[in-house]
Amino acid sequence: MALLIMLSSCSTTTNEETSASRSGLIVVEPGHFHAALVQKTMYEDLDSTVHVYATDSPDLESYLSRIEKFNTREDDPTRWNEKVYRGADFMEKMLAEKAGSVVVLAGNNQKKTEYIKKSVDAGLNVLADKPMAIDDNGFNLLREAFASAEKNNVLLYDIMTERYEITNTLQRELALIDDIFGELQKGTPEDPAVVKESVHHFFKYVSGEPLVRPAWFFDVEQQGEGIVDVTTHLVDLIQWSSFPDQSLDYQKDVEITRAVRKPTTMTKEQFNLVTKLDSYPEYLQKDLKDDVLNVYANGDIYYKLKGVNAKVSVIWNYQAPEGTGDTHYSIMKGSKANLVVRQGKEQNFKPVLFIEAVNATPEYEAAVTEKFKSLQTKFAGIELKKIAKGWEVVIPQSYETGHEAHFGEVTSKYMQFLKAGKLPEWEVPNMITKYFITTQALKMGKENK
């Protein structure tokens, strides 16, 4: 009997220690469906109990509904246990209880930077959906938040899912192979060396169902303009692929040369379809012209990064033509080849990566064939298909995991950083540089109407 008691005691202690060593999620005001996508899968190092703090709203119910569907699906169901606090004082309640160690923020961006700062000040790690700042004031507060995170030894990180899209990953890898890509060109403001363009749609399907967006999503004071929202991904990809693993200094390495912002128009009928609301809220009245909503969701940023001319463009249409969806275009211009990602009609609206030779000599073609083998050892199954301008990189379907799955990949990577107790040295300065570019471009675009 004494032995059984001792073993039982040891077992209890071990279980408690194991539970204490696991991180717990705290989800704050989940207004964007990305908050749920973080939980589309389970994680070995995350406790299954999630503490949610939010106002009692349709946004919260939408989030909880998605989690329930993940928990009850037939194929690999999740096991999340949602502990929900509803109240206007949700932030104060969360900071008082600190029921977990990782705060997830994916929702209304108007106060997101403030929530980030308060969370890291309280000694909590933060995994935030983009954008972490939507204007110049937000950028300054975000810099303070990073300083606070360093002081309190916690990790502040944003969810850059596009790094995990296979064509973006392989484009970056190919740019590292000198015999294939050569040297990244400098370009000019009129003919940039690196261009990334993203086309999105307000009305679309997520997890097989029509996406209902909150009305505040169309208020640029709450969501942010397009030039500071989706462009976050594009600016990140340019830094990540053009200057891999290098720390960038926003005060020395960046020169913004031009910024343009444009609205997407939406009729009341279209607004009703995507929000399920019969009328425009009061806060959108400022954006109405003849009862048509003007959402400043589109933008172009022309800038230099360490002397390399770059351009990012974001376009929001209302709805994609049938059989299509969000699209991405990217080009990196090298001295030996251009690396191009296209996702148009000819590619069946699926991203396809091309190597387009500058001068396709027999010697260069032989070098590409030989050097590509090193990439095949890292990414089994990829092949080269000869085309008129060079090669198409043929990628097995198994690598095409989809946008929703990338949230799990980012979260898993973040958990590795938490285990290590630090981010890669270049991540924080490059996040600061990224948000400097987007917020300063917005400021420039508004000044140059």
- Enumerate domains of the chain plus CATH numbers: 22-158 (3.40.50.720), 162-402+428-447 (3.30.360.10)
pLDDT at 320: 78
State yes or no: pLDDT of 11 exceeds 50: no
Burial class (CB in 10 A: 0-12, 13-18, 19+), 324: middle
Scanning 176-294, the segments in alpha helix (DSSP H) are 178-181, 231-242, 268-275
Give per-residue pLDDT as tens, 115-158. Answer: 999 999 999 999 999 999 999 999 999 999 999 999 999 999 99
pLDDT at 80: 98
pLDDT at 347: 87
pLDDT at 14: 36
State yes or no: pLDDT of 2 exceeds 60: no
Q: In this structure, are strands 156-158 and 125-128 parallel, antiparallel, or unpaired?
A: parallel
Q: Give the pLDDT mean for 348-370.
A: 94
Asked if 228 contacts 130 with a C-beta cutoff of 8 angstroms, the reply is: no
Give per-residue pLDDT as tens, 190-231. Answer: 999 999 999 989 988 766 677 889 999 999 999 999 999 999
Give per-residue pLDDT as tens, 385-443. Answer: 999 999 999 999 999 888 899 999 999 999 999 999 999 999 999 999 999 999 999 99
Q: Give the pLDDT mean for 145-173.
A: 97
More confident residue, 21 or 429: 429
pTM of the model: 0.91
Q: Give the pLDDT mean for 70-81.
A: 97
What is the residue-averaged pLDDT of the chain?
92
pLDDT at 13: 35
Q: Give the pLDDT mean for 277-297.
A: 95
pLDDT at 253: 98
- Residue that has been written with the tokens 């590795």 in this structure: 416
DSSP 389: T
Q: Give the pLDDT mean for 172-189.
A: 98
Going through 153-216 in order, the beta strands assigned E by DSSP cover 156-158, 194-203, 205-206, 209-210
State yes or no: pLDDT of 3 exceeds 50: no
State yes or no: pLDDT of 4 exceeds 90: no
Burial class (CB in 10 A: 0-12, 13-18, 19+), 365: middle
Find all residues with CB under 8 Å of 362, minimum gap 6, and list them: none
Q: Give the pLDDT mean for 296-305.
A: 97
